[in-house]
Structure 1
Amino acid sequence: MDVIHQSEEKSESVTLNIPEEIIHYDILTRVPVKSLLRFKSVCKYWYTLINSSTFINIHQKYCVESRSQDYSSEFFIVSNEYGSNTCELTYIDAHNFTSVRNFKIEDANNRNYFNIVGSCNGFICLKLTNYYSGFKLCNPLTKEFRNIIDHPRYNNGTRLKDTDYLQRYGFGYDFVRRDYKIVVVTCYRKYSYSPLFGRGVVQVYSTRTNSWKKTDEFSPNLFLMGNGLAINNMLHWNVVLGEKDDSNKHDILTFDLHTEKLGRISYSIKLKNELALGLMVGLMVSNGRLCTITKHLTKDGRIGFWTMNKYGVSESWMKLYEFEGGEVCCFDLVNVIYGSRMNFEEVLVTKHVKVDELVWYNLKDKSIRRLGIRRSRTYYADEWACIGSLAPLPSNC
């Protein structure tokens, strides 16, 4: 009995002797955002500490670093009905898939749907798809959001119709200027409804200046697929080139968030040859590396996962694994996958032929493990992985 009592006293003394600085900056900074939001009510000091810029920056740095080594700690499903002015963000903890919280955003001017442009450092950028509507920047965990003015839509002094162009978007962070930026890439059609495109223009919104500017132009015959993916201070879009050689028609268009200049990253010859036999599905990030997904136009619909081992080096693309995708719609793989689990034995799928809900799909035996999280049966739903953050939105926007 005395031994137990002495042990308890020793344990208590060890706890009391831990320096506050270690508790505050080495322990609390590793706690998930949803827990820290509750801890703010413990005492006034913790409220002030957790709201301080120093603590927020340390916590965010840890989240970003741990994210590059593991799959994301959370992701969100954005869903809304056509004609509704309400968007619902569903938060899901990706480690246990049990914590689900909803966050609603309303906009009286929106009568279509919201589209996720991208996520960065815990912020999500949404595009209101009504004509001449703008953007919304939000931190879904702190439930803070801001409206962003829409970009100018003029071509040589003439106001554009939505049938005159095709637009793709991107959202990222300029680490040099410490500036969050929204990028709009506009491909002008040669005439209304034309499948052929003329020149392209890039416009950038800066949260530091709260303004838009035109930054770059590019040659025609580029078709951008999907919104841009942010990694290495760059945005990336899959593009289809207008050249006749089908084996070389796929490429990656990049945009440097600091210099605000366009560039290109090529696929390896082996990957381009595979693309000639099927479809390019999309880009993603896994373990801090740029990855892409391919799908064969065959009966089994094989889906391949490729990673770029050395950023910017075209011949460093390597196929990690592939599986028969007959039961999985490859377009419904989680938009930004921070990995599969157990050395690529499972991959997270948002829709399966058997169930319309989130499932882990086993690549070896083709079995599914249901998570009990259904997609909202609405007109539109979009998924995106994101780290949690305590950071407030930029004050200028």
Structure 2
Amino acid sequence: MSPSSPSAVEVPSDLIAFDILSRLPAKSVLRFKCVCKQWLAVASDSFFLDAHTRYNPLTVSGFLVEDFATTTISTFSVDGGESPAIPDPSLSSLNRRSAASNGIFVWQSCNGLVLCTTRSSQPRSSPFLLNPTTMQYREIPDPPADLYPCKYWFILLFDPSTSFQYRIACLSSNITHAAFDPTAS
């Protein structure tokens, strides 16, 4: 069939790359981003990331737990079987002491993203979301100023069944900021 034939359909090459790359494991996609600028653009696109998550759902086989006293990290299995190995050898050196020496306090991590604040001479510092794989980060707006006299915590939330977006919650020990007031009737 000749290219000028009315029934011949030309599929854009970036659409083909999108479909192929979205079905590959994340580690392969990261390697293939170096192949060409087109693949880098496709693999960095937010629509691609959503499609990749749908085709490659995360399964939790275990989790990491840090002992705050010793700053060591241990692995535990979800199903009670053998504890999974730390997937990346560089994670074995990840601990609060090394992060603190770099001026970073790690609040939480979720699906590879890390919620952090910088340590500074100021009483509070702005949180930021870090992707350690790409070293990209995004600053998070400061909580309201009236939270400063009390303790507050940040939580990183992600539920792919409802949305492919991450959420950050700021919880305060100040009861006047509670979303639910148990004293109300």
- Match of 1:123? 113
Measure how far apart 1:148 and its partner are.
2.3
1:135 to 127, 130, 145: 127
Structure 1 residues 64-88: Cα deviation after superposition (integer angstroms, max 9, x where no partner): xx22xx325x9778899xxxxxxxx
Q: Residues 41 and 47 of structure 1 are in contact (CA less than 8 Å); yes or no, is this contact kept in structure 2? A: yes
What residue ranges of structure 2 are gaps of 5+ in the alignment? 1-12, 69-82
Count of residues in Structure 1 that have an aligned counterpart in Structure 2: 149
- Note if 1:50 corresponds to 2:8: no
Structure 1 residues 316-347: Cα deviation after superposition (integer angstroms, max 9, x where no partner): xxxxxxxxxxxxxxxxxxxxxxxxxxxxxxxx
Q: How does 1:355-394 map to 2 (within 5 A)?
A: none
- Note if 1:144 corresponds to 2:130: no
What residue ranges of structure 1 are gaps of 5+ in the alignment? 1-19, 81-93, 189-198, 203-215, 221-397
- Match of 2:105? 114
Measure how far apart 1:119 and its partner are.
1.9
- Note if 1:171 corresponds to 2:152: no
Give the greater-gyration-radius structure (CA).
1
Q: 1:51 to 1:129 in 2, by over 3 A?
A: closer
Structure 1 residues 141-198: Cα deviation after superposition (integer angstroms, max 9, x where no partner): 222112324212427xxx62xxxx343332225887876432222223xxxxxxxxxx
- Note if 1:201 corresponds to 2:177: yes
Take 1:133 and 1:124, find their aligned partners in 2: how far apart are those partners? Answer: 16
Identity rate, percent: 24
Take 1:30 and 1:37, find their aligned partners in 2: how far apart are those partners? Answer: 13
Structure with higher strand content: 1
Structure 1 residues 26-56: Cα deviation after superposition (integer angstroms, max 9, x where no partner): 5532333332222122234323332333322
Q: Residues 174 and 181 of structure 1 are in contact (CA less than 8 Å); yes or no, is this contact kept in structure 2? A: no
Q: 1:180 to 1:21 in 2, by over 3 A?
A: closer
Q: 1:172 to 1:27 in 2, by over 3 A?
A: same
**Aligned-pair RMSD on alpha carbons?**
4.4
Structure with higher helix content: 2
Measure how far apart 1:140 and its partner are.
2.0
Take 1:30 and 1:183, find their aligned partners in 2: how far apart are those partners? Answer: 32
Measure how far apart 1:58 and its partner are.
0.8
Q: How does 1:243-282 map to 2 (within 5 A)?
A: none
Q: Residues 110 and 158 of structure 2 are in contact (CA less than 8 Å); yes or no, is this contact kept in structure 1? A: no
Tell me the TM-score normalized by structure 2: 0.54
Tell me the TM-score normalized by structure 1: 0.29
Matched residue type, 2:46: S
Matched residue type, 1:30: R
Q: Residues 169 and 185 of structure 1 are in contact (CA less than 8 Å); yes or no, is this contact kept in structure 2? A: yes
Q: 1:170 to 1:133 in 2, by over 3 A?
A: same
Matched residue type, 2:48: F
Greater RCO between the two (CA within 8 Å, min separation 6)?
Answer: 1
Measure how far apart 1:97 and its partner are.
4.0
